[in-house]
Amino acid sequence: MSGVRCFEFSLVSGWPSLMWLASVRKSTPCVRVFHGGGVEIADEWFCEAVWAGDYAAGDFDLTDIIAGSGGRLRNGKVVFVSSGSTADRLVSLELEDCFWVSNSLSGLLAVLGADIDPTYPAYFSDLGSIVKGLTKYRRVLETSLGPVQLTYFEDLVWEGDALRRRQKPHVNRDFTTFLRYKAFLENSLQSLSENMASSGRKLSYSFLGTLSSGYDSTTITTIARKYGCREVICVDRARGGYEDSGEVLAAHFGVTPHLICRDAWRSMAFSEPQFIAADAKGENIFFKGAEPLLRGRVLLTGFHGDNVWSKNPGDLSENIVRGDQSGLSLAEYRLQVGFIHCPLPFWGVRQIRDINLISNSPEMKPWDVPGEYSRPICRRIVEEAGGAREMFGIRKMAPSVIFNISDRFLSQQSTEDYLSWLKRNRKEWIRRKRIPPLLSPHIDHWERKARAYLISRCQNNRLIWRISSSLDDMPTPMRRYLFPWAIEHICQGSQHREHFLNSFS
């Protein structure tokens, strides 16, 4: 066989706008791509992406500055391109002589009719393992049809016989000084803004930022406003009830704030599954309150800024080790709504060591404030643009919603549905010789109280505290099965398979 010659595209009415699913077979030179209405298609490529480069050239396989995903035919090969961050991924499954590749895990499972084990208790830790970095995350999700491969920050290459992983293009950029690193961010934003507004697009995009009183979002807004970011999302409060909206900063920098309620999702029926189905955690569900603003946007966020711009990150390797998995829970939701997620701190992330040298260099001393919460690069960018020191970066806060351990669980309707789902599947635990979870919110409450007490009592012993505090982020036994519940809820509620089968007629 001489290699891949062409794409065959099939628009699937009723699919999420940005979802795509590619079928590659050893016996055919064409790759068939099924897609939603927002996916851009050309003779030799398709994408739901923006990147730092000329849109018409379609060279998103030649850069690591890309948000979204797609496929590129080049020299008899197809490169399936993942996002330049670990807040999105590709998924793939081999069935006999056919490989399936997609940007949607729930979509892939729904279309192919693959089931996952509802009694498996470790989905949360498996999907969250991406925080350990590119060399240590769990790459496989077992299903009834075989193992689904998860691919982050790598591309998949099809040459006609098998899918192979390929590292993203690695450009060794000059980050020797603050000004050079800042120029890289600015030039990339300018190139991205030109790409997303190209007249060649079926759907053009516009920037939408986020803004709080923290370092990362303030830094991104400061830079991005020069390249067309005129609106920002502000969340009314952070976790713990603290006011953290960023509206004062928005007024100072001349951007329009859209204030949303952190808990708006609670009044919307079954809003949780799309977020939980991405990473088993769903902490970014507060974006649901901004849904009318998100369609047709490139959402700029500061996820991973806590490591990239920190003076003392936990890891300086190229493996992209993170402090948490924030942003990943948007991976499925954004495809349905129709926006592209661009966490800007990932740009140039494999040179985190060089970025960290800037943060700790003598030239940055005037912007290094006392205490652990100091990010000199961020502070210099904002203060040199006119931001006063006391306006931002004072206290670390976050609006994330933690279903695993918080007193407030899912919305009442979803909680009742989840508990009913656990009850319906009780026989499955017994069949697999596993102990089913106790369906008692009362016991769940006291277990969480006991955990908190244990952690507080162990604070004075560093070794014991590190062990006990690992419990703080883990779901309680009753909450360990949110991921299979969410996947089943989406797969049964969607008509992805029916629409897919209709596309053949």
Residues 297 and 160 placed together within one structural domain of the fold = no
The domain in which residue 379 lies consists of 178-391
Question: Whose structure tokens read 């003076």?
Answer: 311
Instruction: Tell me: do 184 and 146 sit in the same domain.
Output: no
Residue 215 and residue 162 in one domain = no
Residue 146 and residue 137 in contact, taking contact as beta carbons nearer than 8 Å: no
State pLDDT tens for residues 61-75: 999 999 999 999 999
For 221-271, write each residue's pLDDT tens digit: 999 999 999 999 999 988 877 788 889 999 999 999 999 999 999 999 999
CATH number of the domain that residue 296 is part of: 3.40.50
Asked if residue 55 and residue 132 are part of one domain, the reply reads yes
For 95-113, what is each residue's pLDDT tens digit? Answer: 988 999 999 999 999 999 9
User: Are residues 201 and 223 in contact, defined by beta-carbon separation less than 8 angstroms?
Assistant: no
Strands 148-151 and 90-95: antiparallel
Domain boundary among 391, 415, 449: 391
Tell me: do 124 and 143 sit in the same domain: yes
Q: Which of 101, 136, 169 is the last residue of a domain?
A: 169
Any domain includes 323? yes
DSSP classification of residue 15: S
Classify residue 354 as exposed, middle or buried by CB count within 10 Å of its CB (0-12, 13-18, 19+): middle
pTM of this prediction exceeds 0.85: yes
User: Could you read off the pLDDT of 416-426 as tens digits, one per residue?
Assistant: 999 999 999 99
Q: Would the pLDDT of 35 be above 50?
A: yes
Residues 132, 258: one domain? no
165 and 183 co-located in one domain: no
In this structure, the answer to whether residues 227 and 359 fall within a common structural domain is yes
Distances in Å between the alpha carbon of 306 and those of 216, 241, 497? 8, 21, 40
Q: Give the confidence band of 1 by pLDDT, cuts at 50, 70, 90.
A: very low
The mean pLDDT of the chain is 93
Together in a domain, 114 and 187 = no
- Do residues 183 and 151 both lie within one domain? no
Same domain, 188 and 146: no
Sequence letter at residue 173? R
How many domains are contained in the chain? 2
Which one-letter amino acid corresponds to residue 274?
Q
Instruction: Decide if 249 is inside a domain.
Output: yes
Residue 111 lies in a domain: yes
Q: Tell me whether residue 484 is in a domain.
A: no
Instruction: State residue 45 phi and psi, 5-degree precision.
Output: -165, 165
CA distances to 116, 117, 277, 456 from 146, in Å: 10, 12, 19, 43
Q: What is the DSSP string of 324-374?
A: --TTGGGTTHHHHHT-EEEEGGGTTGGGHHHHHHHHTSGGGGGG--SSS--
- Pair 386, 324 in one domain: yes
Assigned domain for 377 exists:
yes
CATH code at position 10: 3.60.20
